[in-house]
Amino acid sequence: MSEPVEISMTDVLPMFSRHAQRREDQFHELFAAAYPQVVRTVWFVVHDRGMAEEIAQDAFTELYRDWSRLHSFDRPDLWVRRVAIRRAQREARRQVRRVVLERATGTLRPVDDGFSLPDPDLIAAIRTLPPKQRAILVLFYLEDRPMSEVAELVGCSASTGFVQLHQARRRLAALLGEEVDSDVH
């Protein structure tokens, strides 16, 4: 029979603190890896750099607040992306209302984020889409996510996601004078 092993508090405390530090490190790693692309993805929905950063930061803030629970999730990056995308959609809906009001009062100002767009017509056309269609478009085409995952992120079923994508493609094709040659799957 082996000798019983005595464990003192001085042995255990560093383990607690290492565990806490590891979790803290995991958050920093996730933040460093995911934050820039979350901001960019959100930008394609709200088309405002400051707003995109704010929305992404708020989403990571939520993640950080619950990190003691969420760090054990298999994909905390998906969780934070889901929060950010949904906030972006809400903000974009508010923007639409604001633009309508600004048009009505003659105070509409163009958004200038201080950088040149490679395809400004495409971005202008995307801005005419409803926020959910913008989000689906960027998650599907830019992030190459399967529709099942896109649907989870924006909060709809996969079949609704495909319908929304189809409508977005048709609208963009009409606005840009391009052809819709086949359906996406």
Partner 1 sequence: MSIDERIREGLRMTNTQLPPPETTRAVDWISSGGSAPPRRGRSLAVAAAAVLVAGAALAVGQVLASRPDAPPVQQPAPLFVGSWWSTDSDGSSQTMTVREVSAGVFEMELRDDFSSPCSGPSTDTGPGLMRGGMLFVYRIETVCQDGKTPANPGTALNFKVVGPDTIRDDNGVIWSREGSSPPSPAPSRQPGASAFVGSWTSEDADGSSQTMTIREVSAGGFEMVLRDDFTGPCSGPSTDSGTGALRRGVLLVRDIETVCADGDVARGAPSLSFAHLPGTDTLRDNIAVTWSRAE
- Asked if 156 interacts with partner 1 (CB under 8 A), we say no
Q: Which two tokens stand for residue 126?
A: 């995307």
Q: Which two tokens stand for residue 183?
A: 């359906």
39/92 with CB nearer partner 1: 39
- Asked if 11 interacts with partner 1 (CB under 8 A), we say no
Is residue 162 within 8 A of residue 154, CB to CB? The reply is: no
- Asked if 179 interacts with partner 1 (CB under 8 A), we say yes
Residues 87-106 that bind partner 1 (CB under 8 A): none
Block residue for tokens 């934050």:
35
Residues 27-86 that bind partner 1 (CB under 8 A): 27-28, 31, 35-36, 39-40, 43-44, 49-50, 52-54, 56-58, 60-62, 64-70, 72-76, 78-79, 82-83, 86
**110-149 mask for partner 1 (x: CB under 8 A)?**
----xxxxxx--xx-------------xx--xx-------
CB atoms within 10 A of CB 170: 11
Calpha distance 85→154 (Å, rounded): 6
Query: Which residues, other chains included, contact 118 with Cβ-Cβ below 8 Å and sequence gap of 6+?
Result: none
Which string of b and e fits 14-39 if b means at least 16 CB within 10 Å?
eeeeeeeeeeeeebeebbeebbeebb
Positions that interact with partner 1 (CB under 8 A): 9, 13, 16-17, 19-20, 23-24, 27-28, 31, 35-36, 39-40, 43-44, 49-50, 52-54, 56-58, 60-62, 64-70, 72-76, 78-79, 82-83, 86, 114-119, 122-123, 137-138, 141-142, 152, 155, 169, 172-173, 176, 178-181, 184
